[in-house]
Amino acid sequence: MKVAVVGHVEWVEFARVDRMPESGEIVHALETWEEPAGGGAVAAVQLANLAGSCHLFTTLADDELSRRSREELESRGVTVHAGAAPGAQRRALTHVDEGGERTITVLGDKLLASGEDGSLPWEELARCDAVYFVSGDVAALRAARRSDVLVASARELATLRRAALQVDVLVGSGEDAAERFEAGELEPPPQIVVTTAGALGGWIRPGGPFRAASLPGPVSDAYGCGDCFAAGLTYGLALGKPVDEAVALGAQCGAAVLTGRGAYGHQLTLDDVHAG
C-alpha cells in the first residue's frame, strides 16, 4: 500500500496547565515539550503508523527547526518531500488544560506545498492508493487528485473552489467554524462529506450518523484528534473499506490520540487495530 499527505508542518511548543489564563493573568506550566506537528505532519505520522510508511509533500524553511522537523518525521516512518522557503519555520504555542482541551496560537504564515515546485516528485501521488490533502496550492491539489482516492480537509474550501475538481471525501469538524461545509459550497460537490462532532460522533452524507469510538484510556490531550481521524479514514479507504468502516477506523485513531501526550504520544498502530 502507498499513501501520502499534502500539508503543512509547524514546530509546536506545548505547555500543560491547570487552566487557561484569564486576560492579564500569569499561569505556570506543569509540563512542557516540543515536537514537529501541524496538520500535515500529524496525519502523515498517523498514516505511517498504520501503513508502515507515508509520503509527506510540504514546504520547509531553511533553519534549525526545519531540519529537526524533517529528522523527527523521518524517524517516525515519514518520507518528507519538501520545497524550500526563505525565513523561519512556522511555529505554534499550545496550551493543554486540565480537561485535555488544546488552545493554539500560531506564529508565522503557513508554508504551503506548491505543485509548481518541480523539485518535488509529484508524479508519485498518481501511484498512491489514497492521499489526504491538508493544505497546499491548486497545483498541489490537482496532483493529489491523480491518486485512486482523495480525501480533503474542509479547511481548504477556498482552494477546492479554485481547483473546481471533485474530491472523494471531504472531512471537517462541525464544532469548528473554519471547517463547516454546506451543500452547494463546492462545484462539483464532494462524493461524500464526513463531519465530526467530538464525543457525539458525527455524520456521513450520504449515510447518516456515526458513533464516537470508546476511549482506550483517560483523556490527556486533544491536540491532533481531527488530523488522526482523517488519516485513519484515509487509510481505511486505501484498503478498500466501505466509508462507514473507514470512518469507524478514523474514530478509533481520534480516540487513541486523545489519551496520549501531544501529537504522537498515543497514535493508533496497525498492531492496535489487529488486537482490537
Q: What is the pLDDT of residue 183?
A: 78
Q: What is the pLDDT of residue 273?
A: 84
Q: What is the pLDDT of residue 175?
A: 75
What's the length of the chain?
Answer: 276
Dist. CA 117–CA 84, nearest whole Å: 9
Q: What is the dihedral of CA 59, 188, 177, 50, to 10 degrees?
A: -50
- β-strand 91-96 against 10-16: which pairing, if any? parallel
Q: What's the one-letter identity of residue 210?
A: F
Map out the domains of the chain as residue ranges.
3-23+31-270
Cβ 131 vs Cβ 3: under 8 Å:
yes
- From first to last of its 276 residues, the chain has per-residue pLDDT tens of 999 999 999 999 999 999 999 999 999 999 999 999 999 999 999 999 999 999 999 999 999 999 999 999 999 999 999 999 999 999 999 999 999 999 999 999 999 999 999 999 999 999 999 999 999 999 999 999 999 999 999 999 999 999 999 999 999 987 777 777 877 889 999 999 999 999 899 999 999 999 999 999 999 999 999 999 999 999 999 999 999 999 999 999 999 999 999 999 999 998 888 776
- 3-state class of 71 per DSSP? helix
CATH fold for domain 3-23+31-270: UDP-N-acetylmuramoyl-L-alanine:D-glutamate ligase (3.40.1190)
* Region at 184 (left for phi over 0; alpha for psi -120 to 50; beta for the rest): left
Q: What is the pLDDT of residue 114?
A: 97
Give 196's strand partners.
Answer: 173, 202
**How far apart, in Å, are the Cα atoms of 3 and each of 78, 111, 233?**
10, 21, 12
Q: What is the pLDDT of residue 180?
A: 78
Cβ 59 vs Cβ 111: under 8 Å:
yes
